[in-house]
């Protein structure tokens, strides 16, 4: 389907992925990985090399920085080391993307609810959400809140249940192919956040999202909500 004139998405709530969608968490994820590299006598990698895989968390960082995958025998120990490093400094360089505060304010003006659905486990999600002052979210679903992480629809359906809003009245905004897959499985509309990390899911135009937006403010432009947000 053409992306030039996306259909207006009639919704009562907007759900967001966290890493790479609301927040740029790559600086702290990358710093944790680089501390592991330095410990092993390796040079730090530039953040630009790590950023695309930041949405994949420990798995993405260990693949990019140490060439390890879950198939490797030492992966569990490396993963624990990485998570400990990340936990020690997860709110140093992490920031909301430019335009996100204005986007959330716009949703409030429109009377729309919003929430966070992330594969990041609550051990890390809670502190990051607090540090970013996002605790006023209507719901926060972490990677270990339900039995299955995205692309399974369970986390999105749990968010809808807590908001008491039907999935068909929600839209999910995410920067990874699995976000769009999860939204489709949950029966809700989806928006691809092209400003995010985009992972290794190939061409974002092939993901099948209902809309692709290049900046956070663009989310407001694809919503069909009354009253309309005033143009800025």
Structure confidence by residue, pLDDT tens digits, 42-101: 999 999 999 988 988 899 999 999 999 999 999 999 999 999 999 999 999 999 999 999
Contacts of 71 by beta carbon, 8 Å cutoff, 6+ apart: none
Q: In the numeric block, which tokens belong to residue 152? A: 């399974």
Instruction: Tell me whether strands 211-213 and 189-193 are parallel, antiparallel or unpaired.
Output: parallel
What pLDDT does residue 232 have? 40
Q: Find the catalytic residue in 19, 24, 175, 179.
A: 19
Distinct helix (H) and strand (E) counts, the chain: 9, 8
Three-state SS letters, 155-189: HHHHHHHHHCCCHHHEEEEECCHHHHHHHHHHCCE
What pLDDT does residue 23 have? 98
Q: Find the catalytic residue in 17, 176, 179, 210.
A: 17
What pLDDT does residue 9 have? 82
pLDDT category of residue 124 using cuts at 50, 70 and 90: very high
In tens, the pLDDT along 156-167 reads 999 999 999 999
Instruction: Give the whole-angstrom CA distance, residue 11 versus residue 24.
Output: 26
CA dihedral 114→116→122→128, nearest 10 degrees, is: -90
What pLDDT does residue 192 have? 97
Q: Average pLDDT in the 172-193 region?
A: 97
What pLDDT does residue 1 have? 41
Whether 17 sits among the annotated catalytic residues: the reply is: yes
Longest C-alpha distance within the chain, in Å? 58
What pLDDT does residue 7 have? 58
Is the model's pLDDT at 25 over the cut of 50? yes
CA dihedral 27→28→31→35, nearest 10 degrees, is: 180
Instruction: Give the whole-angstrom CA distance, residue 199 versus residue 150.
Output: 14
How many angstroms separate the first and last alpha carbons of the chain? Answer: 29
Whether 19 sits among the annotated catalytic residues: the reply is: yes
Instruction: Give the whole-angstrom CA distance, residue 122 versus residue 127.
Output: 8
Instruction: Tell me whether strands 140-141 and 189-193 are parallel, antiparallel or unpaired.
Output: unpaired
What pLDDT does residue 56 have? 87
Q: DSSP letter at 229?
A: P
Instruction: Give the whole-angstrom CA distance, residue 65 versus residue 17.
Output: 24
Contacts of 138 by beta carbon, 8 Å cutoff, 6+ apart: 13, 113, 114, 115, 162, 163
């Amino acid at each position: 389907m053409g992306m030039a004139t996306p259909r207006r998405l009639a919704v009562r709530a907007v759900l967001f992925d966290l890493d790479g969608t609301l927040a740029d968490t790559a600086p702290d994820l990358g710093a944790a990985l680089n501390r592991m590299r330095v410990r092993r006598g390796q040079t730090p990698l530039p953040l630009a090399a790590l950023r695309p895989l930041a949405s994949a968390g420990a798995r993405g960082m260990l693949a990019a920085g140490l060439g390890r995958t879950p198939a490797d025998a030492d992966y569990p120990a490396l993963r624990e080391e990485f998570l400990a490093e990340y936990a020690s400094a997860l709110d140093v360089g992490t920031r909301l993307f430019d335009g996100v505060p204005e986007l959330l304010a716009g949703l409030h003006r429109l009377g729309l609810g919003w929430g966070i659905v992330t594969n990041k486990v609550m051990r890390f999600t809670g502190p990051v959400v607090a540090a970013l002052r996002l605790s006023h979210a209507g719901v926060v679903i972490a990677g270990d809140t339900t039995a299955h992480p995205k692309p399974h629809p369970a986390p999105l359906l749990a968010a809808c249940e807590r908001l008491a809003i039907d999935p068909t009245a929600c839209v999910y905004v995410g920067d990874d192919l699995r976000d769009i897959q999860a939204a489709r499985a949950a029966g809700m509309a989806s928006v691809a956040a092209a400003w995010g990390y985009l992972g290794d899911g190939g061409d974002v135009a092939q993901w099948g999202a209902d809309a692709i937006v290049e900046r956070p403010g663009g989310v407001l432009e694809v919503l069909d909500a009354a009253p309309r947000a005033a143009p800025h």
